[in-house]
Amino acid sequence: MAQGPEEPIPGVDLDRPSVARVYDWYLGGTANWAIDREFGKMVLSAFPAGMYCARANRAFLHRAVRHLVRLGVRQFVDIGSGVPTMGNVHQIADEVAPDSRVVYIDREPVAVAHSRILLERHGDPERHAVIQGDLREPDELWESVADTGVIDLDQPLALLVTAVLHIQQPGRDGRDLGPEAIARYREMLSPGSYLVLSQITHEGLPDDIARQLHAVIQLYDTNVSKHVLRSNAEIRALFGDFELLDPGVTWTAAWHPEESGLNTPVIDFADPSEAAMLAGVARKP
């Protein structure tokens, strides 16, 4: 595993691990610090497959982007995009469609700072942007996306919310606002747009994975942030009346494996359910 940066970025809290930075470490990135790596090692000691689950989710994201580009999508909004590790949405989309446009959104300062550095070096300011925003504030966030000038919100786009919704999105009253926020995004998306989701489930897992995952969730709840796991039916409900693409809601490792490319990691599980995350892509009528 690569080591993280020595000096913190302004605004970064190094008193506790960060979900985004620990996830970056799972993916082999360098935008993490000792506190994140130590926590990640604790997680992997309790859940050895955790790193592969994270990488299977990133591979799903790659395949979903390729699939949607082939369906004609040229605009992508990635909420909870994390830090630039193991292939970014614009890099994957550009493989097939060099005219694609992408806006990255995260509330983690490290994710935003590193994404800006990446885009300065390898991006196109007319086609790519990164903003700091909060999933729980759909209207404000959507206005910020419009202000970039990169995305035409009146035209179809793909909204990507992958490996985000199992992290509790609490409102002032403590309720998880994730489903309400996703419902608002569905309303704001123009017809013909797509919603791409993935999240950890507690349902249908092999017994050993279920036990290990339970222990890991307790670690996260105590040391990082609260988590909310959903059933297959609850994840399907997040798509509302959108039309799910085949094969519907399925394991990340099982969603259109034929769309894998040279820059997509190949994660082999004895059974796709070992990936622990369900995923799906749906189109707004």
What's the token pair of residue 147? 């202000």
More confident call, 109 vs 209 = 209
183 versus 94: the higher-pLDDT residue is 183
| Residue 105 pLDDT greater than 70, yes or no | yes
| From 130-139, 148-157, 168-177, the region with the lowest mean pLDDT | 168-177
Asked if residue 249 lies in contact with residue 199, where contact means CB atoms within 8 angstroms, the answer is no
> Cβ distance 101 to 77 under 8 Å?
no
Beta strand spans in the chain (E): 75-79, 101-106, 128-132, 158-162, 194-200, 243-244, 250-251, 277-283
Task: Tell me the pTM.
Answer: 0.92
pLDDT band at residue 266, thresholds of 50, 70 and 90? low
Express each pLDDT in 165-186 by its tens digit: 999 998 888 889 999 999 999 9
Euclidean distance between CA atoms 263 and 62, whole angstroms: 8
pLDDT tens digit sequence for 60-78: 999 999 999 999 999 999 9
- Please give the distance of CA 96 from its chain centroid, rounded to a whole number: 21
Tokens 């995009």 correspond to 81
| DSSP 3-state of 242 | coil
- Which of 138-147, 204-213, 267-276 is predicted with the least confidence, judged by mean pLDDT? 267-276
Pick from 12, 13, 61, 103: which is nearest to 252 by CA? Answer: 61
Mean pLDDT of the region 42-69: 95
- Check residue 2 and give its pLDDT: 47
Q: What is the pLDDT, as a whole number, of residue 265?
A: 62
Phi/psi at 103 (5° precision): -120, 125
Q: Any idea of the CA torsion for 37, 58, 199, 143, to the nearest 10 degrees? A: 100
